[in-house]
Structure 1
Amino acid sequence: MTLTHSNKVLQLRNINSKILQTQYAVRGEIAIRAEQLRKELESNPQSFPFKKIINCNIGNPQQLNQKPITFFRQIMSLLEYPELFKNTEYLDKIKYIYPNDVINRAQQILRQSGPIGAYSHSKGIPYVRNAVAKYIHERDGYESNPEHIFLTNGASPAVQMILSVIIQHLDVGVLIPIPQYPLYSASLALLGGKPVPYYLDEKTNWGLDIKEIKDAIRTHKEQGIDVRAMCIINPGNPTGNCLTGDQIEQVINLCHEERIVLLADEVYQTNVYSGKSFISAKKNFELFSFHSISKGVLGECGRRGGYVECTGISEDIIDQIYKIASISLCPSVSGQIMVGLMVDPPRKGEESYSLYKKEVTDIHNSLERRCKILCDAFNQMKNMSCQNAEGSMYVFPRIDFPPACEAEASRIGKQVDEFYAIELLNNTGICVVPGSGFGQKPGTFHIRSTFLPQEEDFPDFIRLFLEFHDSFMRKYE
């Protein structure tokens, strides 16, 4: 029997329809086109008016050459080959290469977690969960129960796991901010939940409006939607805003009043700039809070490590979450250990502290400088305005497109911000995400760009962007 496309069992018409409805713009059509261009550049470097693809579509710092933190990588290297500790000759040699606190910490981790090639507890390595609980207590002043902490392969699987528990039926609604990180809309589409959008106010630097949220709840309840959860992203993605203590208090009060569970996406909590402070949502109410090693100053995206802390959640629900976690046996042990290092870095007085402190400070300060440079550049461009990012790794400028540009985009069947992003990529190699992939107020258009290109590459990056934008606007005026 000849296997042809027409006689294959799996066809687009008969697979899970929820998958077909799911969209994820961060790695959508434009990102796929960027990978095609990258391959063409490798085989024919002279084929385009640019030398490389600059991936500003995703928060992936090490892809753009952010240096890993030395202390963390030194420990991981020793854990990968623990035989070094069993041979006196090897041990004498590594003492010349690694600081004593690195060697001691690696040996401690091996004693407490065992080999990194073995499965761990399905909730995660106990000593790492204890370290996370201690970190949360030191950060917020509230006790944290390590038995209510689940280590995960990054924050995204944790969000999906919790949403799978919350969404009981097709009419369960989850409040999501607009603009939002499309993990939420995509996960709701897969799970069959209903997104309940609430718009952030661009004029107040993407501020959160409680009246807007209450109106969204009321409107959807009138339509028979069971609104039972709310997501906040703090600091914001894609907007870069930081919620104030007053705003978080209002959200918590709203959750009490409306009997809503809060999901607090706090993965950018160390990416805070402009003198702002991160304020967590940790209080005694029904809360799931998420953190990750992918962001901050670590940028360990490919290692896959994160956690969710369950606060105020009933034990019988914790048991059900544990059951879901057990189906996957355990998250990446390497990622779990990196979570433990993130929450328990070198302390003052330890041998590695000074280098660690310098590295994280240098990365943070550089990110803050790059953020300001990119915001300022966008605000100088014609028909573009950009709110100053207070946190995260992104800016979300608004673009007012000329009518001729909108007409051309419509002619080829594209949203105008998508058309702009495609043209930007094809002419400069810069890959950004159109605002329509995150949601935006009707009649407004944006793009999301990271500010992760390295500081020494920033002048060329900004020049390419400015030259393209000026040419694009003149073409369609």
Structure 2
Amino acid sequence: MTISNGNHTKWTPILTENSMNPHVKNVQYAVRGPIVQKATNYQELIAQGKGNELPFNEVIKANIGDCQAMLQKPISFLRQVLSACMYPELIGRHPAVFPKDVEKRANEVLDGLPGRSLGSYSESTGHLYCRKIVKEFIEKRDGYPSDVNNIILSNGASEIIKLTLLTATFGEGKDTTGVMIPIPQYPLYSATISEIGAVKVDYYLDEDNKWSLSIEELEKSYKKSFETCTPRVLCVINPGNPTGQVLNRKNIDEIIEFAATHKLVLMADEVYQDNVYDPESEFCSFKKALMESEHKDSLELVSFHSMSKGFMGECGIRGGYGEFVNFDENVMTELKKLKSAQLCSASSGQVALAIVLNPPKPGEESHVLFVKERDAILGTLKSKSVKVHDLFSRMPGMKVNPIMGAMYCFPRIELPQKAVDAAKKLGVAPDAFYVEKLLDQTGICVVAGSGFGQLPGTYHFRTTILPPEDKIESMLTKFEEFHRGFLEEFK
């Protein structure tokens, strides 16, 4: 756009902060926010040899659940099959490059792809071969039928979660779709709700009861929401992010009953289903619980899984799925149309997901190594979850629930009033003030609880349990020294 002013023509951009889509400006995503950018800047200084004046010699990014960035080794079978599919010329060589069962699986995968090529497009919902593997995984896990036509593969679970929320959003004013989300929550949900113009309906998890989901709180939130919107969707994260809780079966049944009673679409984020460390807890899928309820034919449920978490930790390969249960056929058609506008998710991610959901079987050449690697990863995560919990539970001015599952700890900090006042003077949230000082003094990067939502008047932070064992000890020691010093400074 140009504006003439005498002999001068001034150019002004069409898109400005005032003219751009206002929904975009409302999006917040603390997991990769300014504190994380500051940590990245510190990392670059150290890498360039310019960090001599910093009080630390490395940055430990405990802000995001990126397993392999924290040096978790990938599963050999997955990478071998994927490599063979990427470059089929490696199959059948003498001497052999891969074990026989790897070559067999790679050929099976390639036979299921157009042109036997990982570079081919798939159907918009995903390669039929891969969707069949997902179907069989769900049936084996739950003991109930699944249908490939109700499964959509995506670039990680995030993509299909966004498409589902977009499809479920309609109405204007108080009739606009309200989406009930847990607080604390994974900020993908609040960010997406802002992006698509839906209304966020908060319900608070019960911190004093291991972050359980209270039906009384759901009812309270549901009734209050009609002041601003019409609630149509209920989101549940199990195991929890950022809270690390695992819902018991009774709680899951109560949630299903609540959703059915109030005619809500139930979205179950179950990407951490392999990560359960508490010996008294057990993962139960919402699909299984629904099939064993009186609402098995009437409640609309979509559940999500991803290969980014669990023992796989393949965040960057981007493979996930959504299974839609009891959805109207016409809605499914529109959902698939929306997905087809993106053509398809990456074939490599689809195939990788199919490989990890169908691991080597007993008697196959790769089975022993697969079990050893899987159990070692989950065992290490369990060990680190205990260490992290034990440290924070003994620190003064800190309260923490057991880490039952997922990859996170979400401690509550009793911040001194002097620290709260100092933060407000700077115009930042008190827990953001705390985590920035932690980063500046130790190089440890965590995320302020305000980025996930929290009960007003409470302060938290989220840390992962992912740093390597040889680093997590020193990280925790530094953390404790900082925390005690912080309390002393602001007492």
Q: TM-score range by the shorter chain?
A: over 0.9
Which secondary structure does the structure 1 equivalent of 2:200 belong to? strand
Matched residues in 1 for 2:64 and 2:228: separation?
36
- 1:224 positional shift: 5.1
For residue 45 of structure 1, report the CA deviation from its aligned partner.
Answer: 3.6
Does residue 21 of the first structure (1) align with residue 21 of the second (2)? Answer: no
Q: Give me the TM-score of the superposition, normalised by structure 1.
A: 0.96
CA distance in structure 1 between the aligned counterparts of 2:282 and 2:10, rounded to whole angstroms:
56
Matching of residue 72 in structure 1 with residue 78 in structure 2 = yes
Contact map agreement 1:210 1:251 (CA 8 A) in 2: yes
Whole-Å Cα distance in 2 between the matches of residues 246 and 144 of structure 1? 24
Is 1:369–2:383 an aligned residue pair?
yes
Q: Which residue of 2 aligns with 1:399?
A: 413
* 1:46 is aligned to 2:80: no
Matched, 1:235 2:249: no
> Which residues in structure 2 correspond to 1:110-125 (within 5 Å)?
110-113=110-113, 114-125=116-127
Report the residue type matching 2:335 in the other structure: I
**2:79, 2:357 → 1: CA distance?**
15
Query: Which residue of the partner structure matches residue 193 of structure 2?
Result: 188
Q: CA deviation at 1:450?
A: 0.2
CA shift for structure 1 position 8: 2.5
Q: Distance in 1 between matches of 2:392 and 2:117?
A: 49
- Mapping of 1:401-440 within 5 angstroms? 401-440=415-454
SS in 1 for 2:112: helix
Q: Who is 1:304 aligned against? A: 318
3-state SS of paired residue (1:252):
helix
* Structure 1 equivalent of residue 354 of structure 2: 340
2-structure distance, mates of 1:10, 1:256: 44
Single out whichever of 164-173 and 304-313 deviates more from structure 2.
164-173
1:309-345 superposed Cα distances (whole Å, 9 cap, x missing partner): 0011111111001001100001011100111012101
For 2:19 and 2:89, the matched residues in 1 are separated by: 51
1:260 aligns with 2:280: no
Give the deviation of 1:464 after TM superposition.
1.1
Superposed structure 1 runs of 4+ greater than 6 Å apart: none
Distance 1:150 1:324 in 2: 11
User: Which amino acid in the other structure matches residue 421 of structure 2?
Assistant: A
Give the gaps of 5 or more residues in structure 2.
4-8, 291-295
- My pick for the range that moved more, 288-297 or 454-463, is 454-463
Structure (1 or 2) with the greater helix fraction: 1
Aligned to 2:179: 174
After superposing the two structures, state which structure 1 stretch, 58-67 or 11-20, moved more: 11-20
Decide which of 68, 79, 83 is 2:89's aligned counterpart.
83
The match for 2:293 is none
Q: Deviations over 1:216-259 (max 9, x none)?
A: 111112x1521111000000000000111011101111111101
Aligned residues of 1:206 and 1:241 also touching (Cα < 8 A): yes
2:463 is the alignment partner of 1:443: no
Tell me which residue corresponds to 1:214: 219
* Cross-structure match for 1:271: 275
Identity of aligned residues (%): 41
3-state SS of paired residue (1:46): coil
Deviation at 1:83, TM superposition (A): 2.5
User: Counterpart amino acid of 1:259?
Assistant: K
1:129 and 1:252 map into 2 onto residues whose CA distance is 26
Letter in 1 for 2:57: K
CA distance in 1, matches of 2:11, 2:198: 33
Distance 1:393 1:189 in 2: 26
Give me the whole-angstrom Cα distance separating, in 2, the residues matched to 1:177 and 1:39: 36
Is 1:101 the counterpart of 2:101 in the alignment? yes
Q: Equivalent residue for 1:326? A: 340
- Tell me the distance in 2 between the aligned counterparts of 1:169 and 1:152: 27
Q: Following the alignment from structure 1 to structure 2, what is the Cα–Cα distance between the partners of residues 59 and 145?
A: 31
Paired position in structure 2 for 1:140? 142
Letter of the 2:211 partner, please give it: W
For the residue of structure 2 that corresponds to 1:303, the secondary structure is coil
CA contact (8 A) 2:185 2:452 kept: yes
Counterpart-to-counterpart distance in 2, 1:471 and 1:224 = 44
Alignment correspondent of 1:152: 154
Cα distance in 2 between the residues matched to 1:131 and 1:399: 44
Q: Would you say the 8 A contact 1:80–1:116 is kept in 2?
A: yes
What amino acid is the match of 1:393?
A: M
Deviations 1:62-117 (A, max 9, x none): 001000000001111111111234xx6xx113x1x311101111111111123111
SS class of match (1:151): strand
Task: State how far apart, in whole Å, the 2-side matches of 1:70 and 1:243 are.
Answer: 32
CA shift, 1:30, in A, is 0.7
Equivalent residue letter for 1:12? E
**RMSD of aligned C-alpha atoms?**
1.6
Of 52, 57, 61 in structure 1, the residue corresponding to residue 67 of structure 2 is 61
CA contact (8 A) 1:371 1:389 kept: yes
Amino acid at match of 2:39: A
**Superposition map of 1:452-467 within 5 A:** 452-467=466-481
Match of 2:94, SS?
helix
Contact 1:169–1:193 (8 Å) recurs in 2: no
The match for 1:474 is: 488
Residue 26 of structure 1: how far off its partner (Å):
0.5
Aligned with 1:197: secondary structure? strand
> What is the one-letter code of the residue matched to 1:411?
K
**Per-residue deviation at 1:349?**
1.1
Q: Is the 8 A contact 1:232 1:264 kept in 2?
A: yes
Mean Cα deviation higher: 458-467 or 154-163? 458-467
Maintained 8 Å contact 1:169/1:192: no
What secondary structure is seen at the aligned counterpart in 1 of 2:396?
coil
